Amino acid sequence: MPVTNLPLIQQAITRYGMSFYLGLGVIGNACGCIMFTRQTYRRTASSVYFLCLSICSIMYLIWSLFPYLYSLDHIDPQKQSIAYCKTRFYGTHLFGQCVRYSIVLACIDRYFYTRTSIHLRSFSSISIAVKLVLIMISVWLIVGIHILVFMEIRNNVCGMFDAYKLFYAAYQITFISVVPPTLMSIFSILTFRSLRQRHDGQAHIRQRDRQLMRILIVEVLINVSTSIPISCNFAYNAATIYVTDKTPLRQEIESFSGYIVQNLIYLISVVPFYVFLTTSKPFRNEFFDIFVNLWNKYIRRRTRIVPLAEQDARTRRTHTILRTEHQ
CA dihedral over 9, 11, 16, 19, signed as positive or negative: positive
Q: What is the mean pLDDT of residues 283-311?
A: 69
- pLDDT tens per residue across span 148-197: 999 988 888 888 888 888 888 889 888 988 899 899 889 888 888 877 77
Q: What percent of the chain has pLDDT over 70?
A: 86
- Alpha-carbon Rg for the chain, nearest whole angstrom, is 26
- pLDDT tens for 109-123 read 888 888 878 888 888
Domain range for 200 is: 6-282
Chain centroid to Cα 281, Å, comes to 22
Would 222 be classed as within a structural domain? yes
Report yes or no on 184 lying in a domain: yes
In the predicted structure, residue 299 carries a pLDDT above the cut 80? no
Please report whether residue 204 resides in a domain.
yes
Domains identified in the chain, total number? 1
- Confirm whether 303 is domain-assigned: no
Report the C-alpha gap between 169 and 164 in whole angstroms: 8
In a domain, 289, yes or no: no
Residue 163 lies in a domain: yes
Q: Please say if the pLDDT value at position 58 is more than 90.
A: yes
> Whole-angstrom Cα distance, residue 88 to residue 84?
6
Burial of 208 (0-12, 13-18, 19+ CB in 10 A): exposed
Are 261 and 10 a contacting pair, CB within 8 Å?
A: no
Instruction: Tell me if 297 is assigned to some domain.
Output: no
Residue 210, domain CATH: 1.20.1070.10
| pLDDT for the residue 79 | 83
pLDDT at 210: 63
- Please calculate the CA angle 279-282-287 and round it to the nearest 5 degrees: 95
Identify whether 158 is part of a domain: yes
